[in-house]
Chains A and B, each alone.
Chain A
């Protein structure tokens, strides 16, 4: 018998070493990586999500948990997380002028752990490259994260780049310390996410609407 409680607690505490050890122990007991995602990571993320919604989690804790989540996923999926395009494809980047990607990586991990197919354009990514990737990958949404306010002018260009390629209907979601204080109108995007979970909820709500 095994329990995921230790992993869940370590994830929520943002304790990277303990979380990785818990995950490794589960793998060595023969627990499948998919089961760890479903019964360990998923419940932990849902608890974190609930706390974020009532504003009891701060940026530091989200970053600690994100770092921890990344380490656990790398541990259980050494060859990368498998995903299908069924649930949807998201292209994600930190735009040109910003080389900081912890926030972007946390969002990527969260979306991947929820079954989205995530294509990472990396950091310091030109808007043109982001738009072309979205076109080539037939993306459902584009996510950008920004830590530095000076990246805002580039965020505002995304919509027009997508429109120029004939894919102006793709959702554009912005998040990160520099962007979360702005409005969607100001950034010229569809949604501004206060944290990675809000971005996820937005995707889910869009999917729910289009399925109906």
Chain B
């Protein structure tokens, strides 16, 4: 793929892109914001860039209208025909909301086209995936179902605890905390919508409703109900009802309270298995086939569903947040500056190669980079299958020779071993309990932000994913959000999700005696153990 070199003031980035995208779309795919006063239609002329190098598409009519100087183009109109360099004059102010990239946009477009009924009403619909760590949302224009924009940002509830149990505990202990957590989630959703409104030029008062999916704990906190119930193990088999109290609506503009938005919380399944899982199954369509399939949604809580042709067997894996590189010494989320891929040394070299998101200075390593790095160290014989450095004197491995070192130490490796053992053990137990032979899986859908840069072969090398033909694997970045968009667009989504609900069964690993020995065997770095 060609590269776009981007100069903004003193900094520069290198963005890989798929041919056919405009400069603005390429910049957005790397979460680089350029100032704009229209939706990228060429009407405002604010997104001027200077072309330093490279061939571009011919001037559009809109551009001609602005009588630009010879090396100046509009980012929303110009399409690079190969490698190019540009200077951005007016970067937009930084935001804590990241733009969802165009690859994701294409995935949505095709899913929505294939599966959803279109509604006739005008206005906009909002779809939200409320995650423990991240909130993702998108806005769709009606009745065309055109995707207007999407955002990803941190869930501000992390202030009350990184994991769901501490947040639920805080909410059940104090009404104040419960209310604050509820408010902070609502505020975050409105903030993200305002960010889209400012940039994509959206009239917030035209938003008609907001559909929200999430894990049970997040929906419970948002609804402001039953956090006690969820903490009681006796309730885990039961259906949790999450209804927003007092018919509460989402307020995006406090000066116009009449423009509040109806909220539709998509009900969770049961126990801790939320509607994000149902939405993921809906998006991937895995339960529509008679052949077995596996769905893994990587996140702070990784949830896994095994479809046997009749029943979706669901389990939660105690993986912890290490796939999001949280708790890892040099870990960071998969944002600009993160090492997202680590490569085996070139011939004649002994150093591992790596790729950095946006080709900037490396600042840390994200989940996919860690998986690659551990797989490479295993292949090179630097560490053994127990996750231990083979050379007695060695207790860390450094990736960069430059001043800014990215190290991996035994504790980091241990965290990944535990996390991957949890996932692998769940997959093995789901296969055993459902009677599905791993080799018979026809589709394996890997969802979650972590999936975006994941190298399947390296994930197989360390035993995170089963060793099957790469053709059966599909990378879904955010299946839950896509499913939520489909629900927002589909007036009959409740019936569709209800029929998926009827086919789901939860397996609680806490009650399964065989789980722990399988977890133990899978702490080793190597192929998944215990498969039938």
Contacts and interface: CB of A to CB of B under 8 A. Distances in A.
A96 B511 CA distance: 9
The majority secondary structure among interface residues of chain A is loop
A178 B386 contact: no
A98 B232 CA distance: 14
A170 B513 CA distance: 30
Contacts of B523: 58-60, 63
Nearest to B512: A99
Contact of A149 (B318, B511, B512): B318
A58 B272 contact: no
A110 to B, nearest CB: 17
A97 interface: yes
A153 B231 contact: yes
B31 interface: no
Nearest to A182: B166
22 contacts: A54-B395, A56-B395, A57-B410, A58-B410, A58-B414, A60-B523, A63-B523, A97-B510, A99-B510, A99-B512, A99-B513, A99-B515, A100-B515, A124-B511, A147-B516, A148-B318, A150-B165, A150-B233, A150-B236, A150-B508, A181-B163, A186-B169
Interface string B217-255: 000000000000001110010000000000000000000
Interface string B405-422: 000011101100110000
B320 interface: yes
B441 interface: no
Nearest to B524: A60
Contacts of A99: 510-513, 515-516
A114 interface: no
A59 B418 contact: yes
Nearest to B413: A58
A153 B524 contact: no
A81 interface: no
B480 to A, nearest CB: 20
Contact of B388 (A61, A153, A182): A61
B520 interface: yes
Contacts of A150: 165, 233, 236, 272, 508, 510
A151 interface: yes
A55 B410 contact: yes
Interface string B305-349: 000000000000010100000010000000000000000000000
Interface string A40-61: 0000000000000011111111
Interface residues of B, number: 37
A86 to B, nearest CB: 33
Interface string A79-99: 000000000000000001111
A113 B510 CA distance: 29
Contacts of B318: 147-149, 177-178
A60 B388 CA distance: 10
Contact of B509 (A60, A124, A148): A148
B298 interface: no
A148 B510 contact: yes
Contacts of B161: 186
A99 B510 CA distance: 6
A59 B236 contact: no
A60 B511 contact: no
B519 interface: yes
B42 interface: no
Nearest to A185: B166
B166 A98 contact: no
- In the A-B complex, the 8 residue pairs with the smallest Cβ-Cβ separation, listed nearest first, are A58-B414, A60-B523, A100-B516, A148-B510, A153-B231, A152-B165, A97-B233, A55-B411
A156 interface: yes
Contacts of B272: 150
Interface in A138-157: 147-154, 156
A135 interface: no
Given A102-B520, A186-B166, A60 B386 contact: yes
Nearest to B236: A150
Nearest to B161: A186
A101 interface: yes
Interface of B: 161, 163, 165-166, 169, 231-233, 236, 272, 318, 320, 327, 386-388, 395, 409-411, 413-414, 417-418, 508-513, 515-517, 519-520, 523-524
Contacts of B517: 102
B436 to A, nearest CB: 23
A150 B176 CA distance: 24
Name the residue in A96, A100, A154, A181 with the highest tally of chain B Cβ atoms < 10 Å from its Cβ.
Answer: A100
B220 to A, nearest CB: 14
Given A59-B417, A149-B318, A101 B387 contact: no
B233 A153 contact: yes
A147 B318 CA distance: 8
B216 to A, nearest CB: 12
Nearest to A63: B520
A124 B513 CA distance: 11
Nearest to A51: B410
A64 B386 CA distance: 10
A60 B524 CA distance: 7
Given A63-B523, A153-B169, 19 more contacts: A58-B410, A58-B413, A59-B414, A59-B417, A60-B387, A60-B414, A61-B386, A97-B511, A99-B511, A100-B510, A102-B516, A148-B509, A148-B510, A149-B163, A149-B318, A153-B165, A153-B232, A178-B318, A181-B327
A40 to B, nearest CB: 22
A71 B7 CA distance: 64
A181 B320 contact: yes
A102 B318 CA distance: 16
B417 A151 contact: no
Contacts of B414: 58-60
A111 B512 CA distance: 27
B288 to A, nearest CB: 31
Nearest to B409: A55
A58 B510 contact: no
A60 B417 contact: yes
Contact of B233 (A59, A154, A182, A186): A154
Contacts of A181: 163, 320, 327
Contacts of A149: 163, 165, 318
Nearest to B522: A60
A147 B169 contact: no
A109 to B, nearest CB: 16
Contacts of B520: 60, 63, 102
Name the residue in A150, A182, A186 with the highest tally of chain B Cβ atoms < 10 Å from its Cβ.
Answer: A150
